Amino acid sequence: MSETLFVGTRNPDKLRELHRLLGEDVILRHPNGEGEVEETGDTLWENALLKAREGHLRSGLPTIADDTGLEVDALGGAPGVRSSRYAGEDASYEDNVRKLLEDLRGVEPPRRTARFRTVIAYVDGRRTKRFDGVLEGSILEVRRGESGFGYDPVFLPEGETRTLAEMSADEKNAISHRGRALRAFLAWWREQHRGGDEG
């Protein structure tokens, strides 16, 4: 029997990925009419935990929430925790990508290394757990591909010839930072529901 899990996000792109990755193992419930949780943390973990705790408080259900950042080495790890707001509080995906490419103008390809990092927080009132996923790669000088969202059109995963935006959803999920973090969570979740160790 599937368990219900509250998801602390209103981002429709993230929700689509979650449905694909978690499948029928869990029934996902997400915010309906509630306001966004303000991401005031200084780290991805702090923001994920804020959203997970608030989601659990509102729903009374076991809750997961994530925060994801793009860390570009030539920019000292920026945009990092401010990835979704890199070009301003109300920035669109396009605004953020444009600013990133402008900030990296003149930086040679070998120095354009970067990584996506996802941190998932799980809260159920008794336990708080953390799950991480990282995808190494580099930032291209021009956009490629129409799929995905966010920085996907300019992110070339290590060892790949296509950007995340040139991959199908299944191909992306197989290697992505969020996919890796979610698979770690799902392995733990299944273990709990097989009556395993609850620690």
pLDDT averaged over the chain?
A: 88
The per-residue pLDDT for 24 is 67
Among 13, 42, 67, 73, the active-site one is 67
Contacts of 146-151 spanning 24+ positions with Cβ under 8 A: 147/172, 148/172, 149/13, 149/93, 150/13, 150/70, 150/83, 150/84, 150/93, 150/96, 150/97, 151/70, 151/83, 151/93, 151/96, 151/97, 151/100, 151/116
Q: How much is the pLDDT for 13?
A: 75
Phi, psi values for residue 159, rounded to 5°: 80, 0
Known catalytic residue: 67? yes
Question: If we measure between CA atoms, which residue out of 136, 94, 85, 91 comes closest to residue 112?
Answer: 136
Q: Each residue of 32-48: pLDDT tens digit? A: 655 567 778 899 999 99
pLDDT of amino acid 29: 77
| Position 97 pLDDT exceeds 90 | yes
Q: Please state the domain extents for the chain.
A: 3-192
C-alpha distances in angstroms, 194 versus 64, 188, 198?
Answer: 19, 10, 10
Confidence tier at 1 by pLDDT (50, 70, 90): very low
Q: What is the CATH number of domain 3-192?
A: 3.90.950.10
Provide mean pLDDT across the span 89-113. 96
pTM: 0.85
